[in-house]
Amino acid sequence: MKTTISMMVLKGLMQAWISWDFVHFMDNFFINRFPQYKDRKDEWGSYVCAGYPREKWDKFTDNPVRYMCNMDDNTLNEFAKAIRKEYKRKS
Protein backbone atom coordinates (compact mmCIF):
# COMPACT_ATOMS: atom_id res chain seq x y z
CA MET A 1 0.00 0.00 0.00
CA LYS A 2 2.75 2.47 0.95
CA THR A 3 4.59 1.75 -2.32
CA THR A 4 1.42 2.48 -4.30
CA ILE A 5 0.99 5.81 -2.53
CA SER A 6 4.64 6.69 -3.10
CA MET A 7 4.37 5.86 -6.80
CA MET A 8 1.18 7.92 -7.08
CA VAL A 9 2.91 10.91 -5.47
CA LEU A 10 5.99 10.57 -7.69
CA LYS A 11 3.93 10.23 -10.85
CA GLY A 12 1.74 13.16 -9.82
CA LEU A 13 4.83 15.23 -9.07
CA MET A 14 6.30 14.40 -12.47
CA GLN A 15 3.03 15.24 -14.23
CA ALA A 16 2.70 18.53 -12.36
CA TRP A 17 6.30 19.46 -13.13
CA ILE A 18 5.74 18.77 -16.84
CA SER A 19 2.31 20.35 -17.25
CA TRP A 20 1.96 23.16 -14.70
CA ASP A 21 2.69 26.73 -15.59
CA PHE A 22 2.77 29.50 -12.99
CA VAL A 23 -1.03 29.86 -13.03
CA HIS A 24 -1.56 26.14 -12.42
CA PHE A 25 1.01 26.22 -9.62
CA MET A 26 -0.82 29.12 -8.00
CA ASP A 27 -4.34 27.73 -8.49
CA ASN A 28 -3.62 24.08 -7.70
CA PHE A 29 -1.33 24.52 -4.72
CA PHE A 30 0.07 27.87 -3.66
CA ILE A 31 -3.18 29.77 -3.03
CA ASN A 32 -4.56 26.85 -1.00
CA ARG A 33 -1.56 27.02 1.32
CA PHE A 34 -0.97 30.77 1.27
CA PRO A 35 -4.38 32.40 0.71
CA GLN A 36 -2.98 35.86 1.40
CA TYR A 37 -1.54 35.78 -2.14
CA LYS A 38 -4.83 35.11 -3.95
CA ASP A 39 -5.41 38.79 -4.72
CA ARG A 40 -1.92 39.47 -6.08
CA LYS A 41 -3.05 39.96 -9.65
CA ASP A 42 -2.41 42.55 -12.32
CA GLU A 43 -5.04 44.67 -14.06
CA TRP A 44 -5.82 41.79 -16.46
CA GLY A 45 -6.45 39.31 -13.64
CA SER A 46 -3.21 37.35 -14.01
CA TYR A 47 -1.10 36.44 -10.99
CA VAL A 48 1.90 38.68 -10.48
CA CYS A 49 4.94 36.43 -10.86
CA ALA A 50 7.14 38.19 -8.32
CA GLY A 51 8.29 37.98 -4.71
CA TYR A 52 7.62 34.93 -2.57
CA PRO A 53 5.36 33.11 -5.09
CA ARG A 54 8.00 33.57 -7.81
CA GLU A 55 10.73 32.28 -5.51
CA LYS A 56 8.71 29.14 -4.76
CA TRP A 57 7.77 28.68 -8.43
CA ASP A 58 11.43 28.87 -9.43
CA LYS A 59 12.38 26.30 -6.79
CA PHE A 60 9.59 23.99 -7.95
CA THR A 61 10.62 24.21 -11.60
CA ASP A 62 14.34 23.83 -10.83
CA ASN A 63 13.98 20.67 -8.75
CA PRO A 64 10.48 19.56 -7.69
CA VAL A 65 11.73 16.72 -5.47
CA ARG A 66 14.05 18.99 -3.49
CA TYR A 67 11.26 21.57 -3.29
CA MET A 68 8.87 18.99 -1.87
CA CYS A 69 11.47 17.62 0.58
CA ASN A 70 12.09 21.05 2.12
CA MET A 71 8.47 21.79 3.09
CA ASP A 72 7.03 22.04 6.56
CA ASP A 73 4.24 19.57 7.39
CA ASN A 74 1.34 21.92 6.59
CA THR A 75 2.79 22.94 3.24
CA LEU A 76 3.64 19.34 2.38
CA ASN A 77 0.07 18.29 3.17
CA GLU A 78 -1.35 20.88 0.74
CA PHE A 79 1.22 20.03 -1.88
CA ALA A 80 0.46 16.30 -1.59
CA LYS A 81 -3.25 17.05 -2.13
CA ALA A 82 -2.44 18.96 -5.31
CA ILE A 83 -0.11 16.22 -6.54
CA ARG A 84 -2.64 13.47 -5.88
CA LYS A 85 -5.28 15.51 -7.70
CA GLU A 86 -2.90 15.93 -10.66
CA TYR A 87 -2.24 12.18 -10.73
CA LYS A 88 -5.98 11.37 -10.73
CA ARG A 89 -6.63 13.97 -13.42
CA LYS A 90 -4.03 12.45 -15.75
CA SER A 91 -4.87 8.79 -15.00
Distance, in Å, from the CA atom of 91 to the CA atom of 78, rounded to the nearest integer, reads: 20
pLDDT at 50 over 80: yes
pLDDT at 1: 45
The domain total for the chain is 1
- Structural domain boundaries enclosing 66: 2-90
Instruction: Give the global pTM.
Output: 0.86
Three-state DSSP at 41 gives strand
Angle at 10 between CA 76 and CA 14, to 5 degrees: 100
**Helix 73-90 with 2-19: angle, nearest 10 deg:** 80
The fraction of the chain above a pLDDT of 90, given in percent, is 68
Q: Does residue 48 sit in helix, strand or coil?
A: coil
The pLDDT of residue 5: 59
Instruction: Tell me the percentage of the chain whose pLDDT exceeds 70.
Output: 95
